[in-house]
Structure 1
Amino acid sequence: MRIWNVLLGVFLFSTAFADFKDWAKTPPMGWNSWDCYGPTVVESEVRANADFMAKNLKIFGWEYVVVDIRWYVKNPSSGGYNQKDPEFVLDGCGRYMPAENRFPSAKNGRGFKPLADYVHSKGLKFGIHVMRGVPNAAVQNKTPIKGAGGITADKIASDKTVCWWLKDNKTIDFKKAGAQEYYDSVISLYASWGVDFLKIDDLANPYHAEEIEMIRHAIDRCGRKIVLSVSPGETPTNCAEHVKANANMWRIVPDLWDDWGHVNRLMDAASRRVCHISSGGYPDCDMLPLGRIGIRAEVGKDRSSRLTRDEQLTLMNLMLICKSPLMFGGDLPSCDEFTISLLINRRALNLHKNSKNVRILKNEGGVLAISAEKRVGVGGYIALFNRTDAVMEDIELARTSESLGIGASEFREVWTGNLLKSVLLKPHSSVLIDFR
């Protein structure tokens, strides 16, 4: 009987492992609390953004509502992680729990389940951020690990490769008995809350292959479809195949903020990664720092995005053609009309969902050209980016497309549907074209 149980377990594990790419057949789209609230977001703000998304964005494919970093700290401070005397909240198994003073519905040990239920009631999906590793407090208190037969947290902890920018956790030594059981217990808890999306930090750079594999195994065993996002970038290019085999999205740059230099850097990073795009696995350009951000964030004060409108459209065009996940970083209820218009254009979002075989055609002389095929239908898409501070005039599209190896005769601007014969690209601007 035991051998049959083992074989059944192997079958179920391999089936789950094969299926996780199906949980994100198109790039995930949602809202994340980081750019506007940093580590200080509270439940009422999460609910307000969920309400706005359900009412205004859900019909366009936006679905994830993600609570970012340090939701387990009672007294978080913005503008510096490693504050003096943070008050952490953990359960008796060494697992972080939501701070009840910030998330009142978590009282009486309910965790994020009531908030996840609220998000699900809106027809949306719920996600959270967590750091890799085991909490220092659990290690210091020698907290028992659930399901590990009496092994305590100090037995699996290591001081090697501890996160340099946030000191909340120790590394988990994958060789130690109880290590996998700890990740299993954590992911099982999240699954019981109804978590649909996990952004796990300090995994991608430096790259922690063993912990990524432990997390992958834990998700596959938890009984819930949880999309896995690996952060922060730049994920090493030589790890692309490994991360594709274990995660649904992985960061390709450090944090992206509302600065043209960040966007310009992103173009090169994306250009190196488009060859790794696959169904269910996406190089991640980070969050969209658009709309009202910096309300209580780590970078800058309360503001509207400092990117010009041309630069904002360029950032959208880059993420759309490169099939990056789209995680909006601004506060949705206080967004302006222009920003919302960037999130609800059906032609642009159709390209994002239904394109394939993304290729870099040119990246020199201040010009970036990227193409993609249509999944269904004739023709394809091309995006042209002006990375310079000068105007590029009278770009004749038929001639340009021929020089880039695309023999097209009809060109329509994706956002408006208007026919084009030539374009003028102002500094830092771009154009997204549907061609036949």
Structure 2
Amino acid sequence: MTSKKIALTPPMGWNSYDYYDTTVNEEQVRANARVMAERLKEWGWEYVVIDIQWYAKNAGSMRGRFQYIPFGYVEIDSWSRLQPDPERFPSSQGGKGFGPLASYIHSLGLKFGIHIMRGIPRAAAHGHMKILGHNETADMVADPGSVCRWNPDMYGVRDCPGGQAYYDSIIGMYADWGVDFIKCDDICNTDNLVPHSDRAYSRSFEIEMISRAIEKTGRDIVLSLSPGPAVVDESWHYHAHANMWRITDDFWDDWELLKGMFRRCEQWQDHVGPGSYPDCDMLPLGRIGAGFGDERDTRFTKDEQKTMFTLWCLMGSPLMMGGELTKLDDWTMFLLTNWDVLDMLPCRPRQLYRNENSAAWTALEPDSGEKYVVLFNLSDEPSELSVSIHSIWPRALAGIDLWEGGRIDFADGLVRATVAPHGCAAYRVTSTPKPWREDMAE
């Protein structure tokens, strides 16, 4: 059982994938960590997460043909455990792994995370390599019939003592390095192209094995599961064994993907709680795409960016910034440091309605009693939107605009606003007629 004493609010941080894909190196990770520590830490941003293929040699060198080089060379120790590529992560040389880099991240007052693929390296199975703490070798533990659809690095692990010993050995090593966050891929939905197939959750026992291995370390490690869409019928299992799980496949800067998230959030709105979070995926903000050969500013309009950030926060989704922090612009900084919107993160969300053109949500912060209401314009034209608030909170009199500042009165019990295409109007509800103060807008 994964600890629910950690991640009592949704984890917030930076992930290397949206900008670097498979190619990130130690210098780049350190540079992004410094920006987070200097500019974002006070707003709750704290996890620095290295995404996929940190162990792969020559990663990204064949990007024109492959995202992942087929059966490429990997750095691996004598116990079948993948290690950081020393050319990209020079502080790992001499068997130190990510220990030195994790120590540096911790020295900045931040936390350190890595991405892993479900299973055991195919290179270890083909080489009949040893497993620490068990007499079976990797070929006996690997399940050659369980492979990832899109990555060639691993075989699934059999549900056997040797398989558990393998997971215990790698998670124990990560704990020794100082890892605080593990994003495990090809496990949340193992048939995400056909999300409701019988295979979609066929490796649930591997989730349990990883969860047990984390518990054995005694270290507070957040367990994040990817990719989605997560299987709603298995929500109890995610809650029991993980801290966050992806409710979508890879999310990028495309309006149709963002619009589709409203349906996904509707499905998962009742499954948010301390230590357990449906994950809307990374925030493709600022500068992204360099490792994919397509460096660009996010394609989302400013209104779409506000809609995304607002929806993620009121849903209590973890927030993982995908853009390059060393190229952080003023607008993106404004988004990431809006206390009024970030305050929604521990809330309990509730969708009031959704149709093709608009949606409305409320959220309640159970400890403080703060209440929120948000109107979303899903159409391509400016729209006058309204929703009755008195049927939910009879004493609601007015709202404080979370993005623009200022106060609006809820005349006749209606929240009413003219909302830009793909934009939103978000308010913190007030129940007593307090005067608006200009200093609140600063």
Aligned mates of 1:284, 1:171 — CA distance in 2 = 24
2:212 counterpart of 1:217 = yes
- The 5-angstrom pairing of residues 255-404 of structure 1 reads 255-297=250-292, 301-353=294-346, 355=347, 357-393=348-384, 395=385, 400-402=388-390
Correspondence for 1:413: 401
Question: Any gaps of 5 or more consecutive residues in structure 1?
Answer: 1-16
Which of 174, 197, 200 is equivalent to 2:184?
200
Correspondence for 2:235: 240
Correspondence for 1:153: 138
- Compute the displacement of 1:401 (Å): 2.1
Please, what TM-score do these two structures have when normalized by structure 2?
A: 0.90
Amino acid in the other structure paired with 2:19: C
Amino acid in the other structure paired with 1:184: D
Residues 317 and 431, structure 1, Cα contact 8 Å, conserved in 2 = no
Which of 101, 104, 107 is equivalent to 2:90?
104
Aligned mates of 1:281, 1:31 — CA distance in 2 = 19
Q: Deviations over 1:204-255 (max 9, x none)?
A: 1122210000000000001211100000000111111101100000000000
SS at match of 2:320: strand
SS at match of 2:343: helix
Q: Deviations over 1:173-202 (max 9, x none)?
A: 11x330100000000000000000000000
Q: Deviations over 1:378-435 (max 9, x none)?
A: 5501111111112212x45xx6324667652111112344102442111100111101
Aligned mates of 1:34, 1:338 — CA distance in 2 = 21
SS at match of 1:178: helix
Residues 106 and 112, structure 2, Cα contact 8 Å, conserved in 1 = yes
- Compute the displacement of 1:274 (Å): 1.2
Amino acid in the other structure paired with 1:130: I
Aligned mates of 2:356, 2:161 — CA distance in 1 = 55
Please, what TM-score do these two structures have when normalized by structure 1?
A: 0.91
Question: Any gaps of 5 or more consecutive residues in structure 2?
Answer: 191-200, 410-415, 431-442
Q: Deviations over 1:348-375 (max 9, x none)?
A: 112224x2x3111111242211111123
Aligned mates of 2:393, 2:267 — CA distance in 1 = 20
2:428 counterpart of 1:434 = yes
Correspondence for 1:177: 161
- Compute the displacement of 1:203 (Å): 0.4
Aligned mates of 2:11, 2:83 — CA distance in 1 = 25
Q: Deviations over 1:80-105 (max 9, x none)?
A: 33425622000000000000000011
Amino acid in the other structure paired with 2:363: A
- Note the aligned Cα RMSD (angstroms): 1.5
Q: Deviations over 1:330-364 (max 9, x none)?
A: 000101100011111112112224x2x31111112
Correspondence for 1:167: 152
Matched pairs, number: 410
Correspondence for 1:48: 31
Residues 361 and 404, structure 1, Cα contact 8 Å, conserved in 2 = no
Amino acid in the other structure paired with 1:69: I
Residues 401 and 407, structure 1, Cα contact 8 Å, conserved in 2 = no
2:221 counterpart of 1:226 = yes
Q: Deviations over 1:136-158 (max 9, x none)?
A: 0100111111001x210001111
Residues 251 and 286, structure 1, Cα contact 8 Å, conserved in 2 = yes
Aligned mates of 2:370, 2:140 — CA distance in 1 = 58
Correspondence for 2:16: 33
SS at match of 2:291: coil
- The 5-angstrom pairing of residues 100-139 of structure 1 reads 100-139=86-125
Correspondence for 1:69: 52
Aligned mates of 2:276, 2:326 — CA distance in 1 = 30
Residues 66 and 197, structure 1, Cα contact 8 Å, conserved in 2 = yes
Aligned mates of 1:272, 1:366 — CA distance in 2 = 18
Residues 121 and 154, structure 2, Cα contact 8 Å, conserved in 1 = yes
Residues 70 and 152, structure 2, Cα contact 8 Å, conserved in 1 = no
Amino acid in the other structure paired with 2:11: P
Aligned mates of 2:369, 2:50 — CA distance in 1 = 40
Amino acid in the other structure paired with 1:400: S
